[in-house]
Amino acid sequence: MPISFDESKRIFKLDTKTSSYIFQVFEQNYLVHLYYGAYIPDNGVEDLAMRCCNASFSPANAIIGEHGFSVDSWPMEYSCNGTGDMRISALAIKNHCGNASTDVRYVSHRIFKGKPALCGLPSLYTMSDDDATTLEIETIDKVTGAKVFLLYTVFENYGAMTRSVRVENSSDKPMDIQRVYSACVEFPTMDYNMMHLYGMWCKERTLTSHHLAHGIQSVHSKRGSSSHTHNPFVALAKDDATEDFGEAFGFNLVYSGNFAADIEVDFNSSTRLIMGINPTDFCWRLDPGESFTAPELVMVYSNAGVGEMSRIFHRLYSNHLIRGEWKNKKRPLLINSWEAAYFDFDDDKLVAFAERAKELGIEMLVMDDGWFGVRNDDRRSLGDWYVNENKLKGGLSSLIERVNALGLNFGIWYEPEMISPDSDLYRAHPDWCLQVPGREKSIGRNQYILDMSRKDVRDNIYEQMASVLRNNKIDYVKWDFNRNLTEVGSALLPPERQQEVYHRFVLGTYELMGRIVNEFPHILLENCSGGGGRFDPGMLYFSPQIWCSDNTDPIERLTIQFGTSMCYPVSTVGAHVSACSRTGYETKGNVAMSGTFGYELDPIKLTEEERRIVKKQVKDYHKYYDVIHFGDLYRLIAPTENSHRCAWGYVSQDKSEALFTFVTMLRCQNPTFYVRLKGLDPDKYYIDDETDEIHSGALLMNAGFNLKNRPCSDGTSYTIYLKEVKNK
């Protein structure tokens, strides 16, 4: 059984095939953490909870304090504010008396097969009750009547578990949740490197790592979205861990709004990690009988290095986060009009694009920003989702029919959460955007933000979108989000609920996306936020792919895509070949192939040689699709660790085929280059598709390739495709 409870010791043990997570109902019903790490068959780890107290400065429970127990020093399973634990706390609830002292203790629990959905929030799912096992622990703060339910779901076959929290007000008075993190995780030492993904627009998700230090280290967003700046992912890797060896613990929040990941090393040199909704500008009024559910945190353990941690995330998300028709269905090879035309297009120009794209083997034309209202630049018409027939002179249906007649599918762009000051919608409903009385509204990209906490706003946008989608044969929608939230207030909510708006905005966006996905399940939805500003598991629950970055330079994309691969599978990574002049089309294609693949250029301007290369890339897309999208990723050389080269590969689940890609970012003085491959079966033999040479997996992984005769000039690249030889 993946989850067990030892009645005599009052110990919970949560097991996957590779990991164990153990905690105890201690004296006075405190929940105390005992162990998280590699799988162990027994549970005799009670002594691991003991920590030195800081003399009289570590408050003790009056009844059990003589045992050396203090919530200020012991590893608490879910830390609370204001009742003796002086470290970072996961929970703080202000009661009707005005104080935020919080203390929850164990009441009961239940263990059951399967996994419940979270109310109003995206979360991992099961296809049958045999996929996972769930533990729900009920705790209560007896003074305030706050019931807090801790949820743990174990995905036994993945080395992964999820955590969430639900707070219920069982009293007869209102209370205010000031912070409610999704999980608290304790580690006995500080012998870890903290890994996270930082960046900015066009430079998202750059991997960085530093050793833990005493005190608090944190990554967060208070931008209203998960953001370009920090991703809701952190990992703790043991000091001796590498890509292929050692322990790594990964944490990823299934949420698209303000988040925080806080890590504190205390005076015992032990470590606490909490992760969840950012408490800055957050407070949730909970009236009697109401409940609040925190977002889900995904926790992955690997004792085979950071690379295996990533592969666990990839398998888990591919099977239990991505949903719908496009979960395993082959994605269409598309061309997007944005970098080719920006706002300067009409129906004839788009049809001309489609004609040339069809000749190249491309399968879908996507019409980006500029098709609606009077949208000839970025200063107007967001919110007016009706077709601009001065631009599309035959109307949208006519354009789609012309594109379909060529054999191409058709996609369209939306930015549903935004509104232009110069729009019919804003003139009719100026109160529909986020705003704070007396404050000037900040402008970003010449647009304001709709108040997605309001049902009337969501209903209006939904009906506008649905009208277009119902009446036209649209196969793909790109959902964009091009600015951060400011002046976050709602005209409908009372003063005591204004700090709920950030979270209600996210819930409203999820509700609107869910309605679109449910009514139009055949549509392939791709998220975007100025590129990768909302690349998070919450968005992936609704859209199986996200535009990775507005930066399509293939050399700079290496760092972005490597960082993204820390926890997100390649099938989710929107990546296109563009007309940038940094490298040749071979390298552009090889880098974009490590993603959904497509084109972001004017196909009419391609030279004959470029057209030849694109046609080959289209063939390669189909040839390598399965091994890339359903295989395991192995990172060979990270662009942040080597100033000259970058390399990675995909190996099929059955180890029968593999594709490895090598990019020279900057020519090295010594062109001799040896690389050991990864992930192959040492007992199998493989034939190189280009040279017809046959080598064992053992040779390729242990001795490696000498690639001295391969291209090595700045910006060049090449691939090696290996296929198993059955009867060697």
Residues 642 and 583 in one domain: no
> What per-residue confidence (pLDDT) applies to 59?
75
Residues 596 and 504 in one domain: yes
**Is residue 328 in some structural domain?**
no
Residues 518 and 495 in one domain: yes
**Is residue 587 in some structural domain?**
yes
How much is the mean pLDDT over the chain? Answer: 95
- Judged against a pLDDT cut of 70, whether residue 670 lies above it is answered with no
Residues 364 and 307 in one domain: no
Band of residue 689 on the pLDDT scale cut at 50, 70, 90: very high
Angle between helices 608-630 and 347-360 (to 10 degrees): 70
Question: Per residue in 104-142, pLDDT tens?
Answer: 999 999 999 999 999 999 999 999 999 999 999 999 999
- Its domain, for residue 492, covers 334-630
pTM: 0.97
If one counts the domains in the chain, the total is 3
> What per-residue confidence (pLDDT) applies to 62?
65
Question: Per residue in 693-715, pLDDT tens?
Answer: 999 999 999 999 887 777 778 88
> What per-residue confidence (pLDDT) applies to 67?
63
> What per-residue confidence (pLDDT) applies to 563?
98
Residues 574 and 518 in one domain: yes
- Judged against a pLDDT cut of 70, whether residue 592 lies above it is answered with yes
CATH number where 374 lies: 3.20.20.70
Instruction: Name the CA radius of gyration of the chain, rounded.
Output: 27
> What per-residue confidence (pLDDT) applies to 55?
60
> What per-residue confidence (pLDDT) applies to 582?
85
- Nearest partner of 531 among 481, 492, 565, judged by Cα: 481
**Percent with pLDDT over 90 in the chain:** 91
- Judged against a pLDDT cut of 70, whether residue 571 lies above it is answered with yes
- Average confidence (pLDDT) over 284-290: 97
> What per-residue confidence (pLDDT) applies to 290?
97
**Is residue 403 in some structural domain?**
yes
Band of residue 430 on the pLDDT scale cut at 50, 70, 90: very high
- 630, 656, 671 - which closes a domain: 630
Write out the catalytic residue numbers. 480, 550
Residues 607 and 651 in one domain: no
Question: Per residue in 178-193, pLDDT tens?
Answer: 999 999 999 999 999 9
> What per-residue confidence (pLDDT) applies to 728?
67
Residues 302 and 369 in one domain: no
Band of residue 489 on the pLDDT scale cut at 50, 70, 90: very high
Band of residue 52 on the pLDDT scale cut at 50, 70, 90: confident
Q: Which two tokens stand for residue 522?
A: 């055949």
**Is residue 329 in some structural domain?**
no
- Average confidence (pLDDT) over 637-660: 93
**Is residue 325 in some structural domain?**
no
Residues 556 and 625 in one domain: yes
Residues 419, 425: Cα–Cα separation, whole Å = 8
- 581, 604, 630 - which closes a domain: 630
Q: Which two tokens stand for residue 453?
A: 């906490």
- Average confidence (pLDDT) over 514-534: 98
Residues 194, 263: Cα–Cα separation, whole Å = 9
Phi and psi angles of residue 533, each rounded to the nearest 5 degrees, phi first? -80, -5
Residues 619 and 641 in one domain: no
> What per-residue confidence (pLDDT) applies to 674?
86
Question: Per residue in 240-278, pLDDT tens?
Answer: 999 999 999 999 999 999 999 999 999 999 999 999 999
Band of residue 214 on the pLDDT scale cut at 50, 70, 90: very high
- 607, 630, 653 - which closes a domain: 630
Which H helix or E strand runs over 185? strand 175-187
Band of residue 65 on the pLDDT scale cut at 50, 70, 90: low
Residues 28 and 121 in one domain: yes
CATH number where 199 lies: 2.70.98.60
Residues 262 and 386 in one domain: no
**Is residue 46 in some structural domain?**
yes
Question: Per residue in 446-465, pLDDT tens?
Answer: 999 999 999 999 999 999 99
Q: How many Cβ atoms sit within 10 Å of the Cβ of residue 672? A: 10
- Nearest partner of 249 among 292, 197, 202, 186, judged by Cα: 186
Question: Per residue in 383-400, pLDDT tens?
Answer: 999 999 999 999 999 999
Q: Which two tokens stand for residue 406?
A: 């060529």
**Is residue 326 in some structural domain?**
no
In terms of residues, how long is the chain? 728
Asked whether the beta carbons of 518 and 298 are under 8 A apart, the reply is no
- Judged against a pLDDT cut of 70, whether residue 66 lies above it is answered with no
> What per-residue confidence (pLDDT) applies to 137?
98
Residues 272 and 132 in one domain: yes
> What per-residue confidence (pLDDT) applies to 673?
78
